[in-house]
A = this chain, B = another copy of it.
Amino acid sequence: MSRTSTAPTKFTHVACGDCPIRHRAVCARCDDTELKQLDEIKYYRSFQAGQTIVWSGDRMDFVASVVSGIATLTQTMEDGRRQMVGLLLPADFVGRPGRETAAYDVVATTDLVMCCFRKKPFEDIMVTTPHVGQRLLEMTLDELDAAREWMLLLGRKTAREKIASLIVIIARRDLSLKPGDADGRVVVDLPLTREAMSEYLGLTLETVSRQISALRKDGIIQIEGKRHITIPDFDRLIEEAGDDSDGGFLA
């Protein structure tokens, strides 16, 4: 259980007011009183890249927000086939109030910090104060929309479109944080291994690799190292993704 190379930033107990995800997480709408209630039942946990946080079927006595880092939700079939069903970025919520056991494996893809709430008291807060439940509904509806977009990708897109779509999704999330020039050149670092991408996209790792190479050969993307991608023409990539073009970039 010793720490490897990069020690994750230590959050022993950050005041909610100073929290980096204060305005986007499940607590976004809370007033000072509510925040204080949450503060009393919260604790931080850190995980190393690659670590499995929860196994599907495990008893889970907390819910949590991702503070920093990236985690995935994955389903596994008996014979080992795996499908990612959630990609959790900072501010995203993990766990389901009212459920005893985890429905999916939760894995830290990078070093990760989570703000955990003991489940029972969290459920109580949800009943007594409106803002947590309201925000959670909003976030869950967003996740459902994302899941449905993902279903279109899994059911109908070609391998090349899937790869292009994934890069677009990651690039957009990056752009939503640091503005950058809307249309032209875009630079992204993939936070996923080829294997994790294949689990996201419902492909094999080899097909992922081949299609990335193909996009590179066609000049749609440029690659340095394994993970660092430059997109010379973002609109061109969006076309490759097969998405309804209309943008929705700022919507």
Question: Do the beta carbons of A156 and B104 come within 8 Å of each other?
Answer: no
- A82 beta carbon closer than 8 Å to chain B: yes
Question: Do the beta carbons of B82 and A156 come within 8 Å of each other?
Answer: yes
- A86 beta carbon closer than 8 Å to chain B: yes
- A137 beta carbon closer than 8 Å to chain B: yes
Chain B residues positioned under 8 Å from A155 (CB to CB)? 83, 154, 201-202
Given A98-B138, A137-B140, A151–B150 Cβ distance below 8 Å? yes
Chain B residues positioned under 8 Å from A78 (CB to CB)? 242, 244-245
Question: Do the beta carbons of A77 and B244 come within 8 Å of each other?
Answer: yes
Chain B residues positioned under 8 Å from A130 (CB to CB)? 130, 133
- A148 beta carbon closer than 8 Å to chain B: yes
Q: How far is the CA of A4 from the CA of B246 in the complex (A)?
A: 38
Q: How far is the CA of A143 from the CA of B144 in the complex (A)?
A: 8
- A103 beta carbon closer than 8 Å to chain B: yes
Question: Do the beta carbons of A141 and B138 come within 8 Å of each other?
Answer: no
Q: What number of A residues sit within 8 Å (CB to CB) of B?
A: 39
- A75 beta carbon closer than 8 Å to chain B: yes
Question: Do the beta carbons of A147 and B151 come within 8 Å of each other?
Answer: yes
- A96 beta carbon closer than 8 Å to chain B: yes
- A19 beta carbon closer than 8 Å to chain B: no
Q: How far is the CA of A86 from the CA of B147 in the complex (A)?
A: 11
Q: Among A75, A144, A244, A245, find the residue whose CB has the most chain B CB atoms closer than 10 A.
A: A144
Q: How far is the CA of A130 from the CA of B131 in the complex (A)?
A: 10
Of all chain B residues, the one with the shortest Cβ separation from A73 is B148
Question: Do the beta carbons of A152 and B85 come within 8 Å of each other?
Answer: yes
Q: How far is the CA of A35 from the CA of B5 in the complex (A)?
A: 59
Please, what's the 1-or-0 string for A41-83, where 1 marks a CB less than 8 Å from any CB in chain B? Answer: 0000000000000000000000000000000010101110111
A110 to chain B, nearest CB (A): 22
A241 to chain B, nearest CB (A): 10
- A136 beta carbon closer than 8 Å to chain B: yes
Those of A120-146 within 8 Å (CB) of chain B: 130, 133-134, 136-138, 140-141, 143-145
A-to-B contact residues, CB < 8 Å = 73, 75, 77-79, 81-83, 85-86, 96, 98, 103-104, 130, 133-134, 136-138, 140-141, 143-145, 147-152, 154-156, 201-202, 242, 244-245
Cβ contacts A to B, 8 pairs, < 8 Å: A75-B149, A81-B156, A85-B151, A103-B145, A133-B133, A147-B148, A155-B201, A156-B202
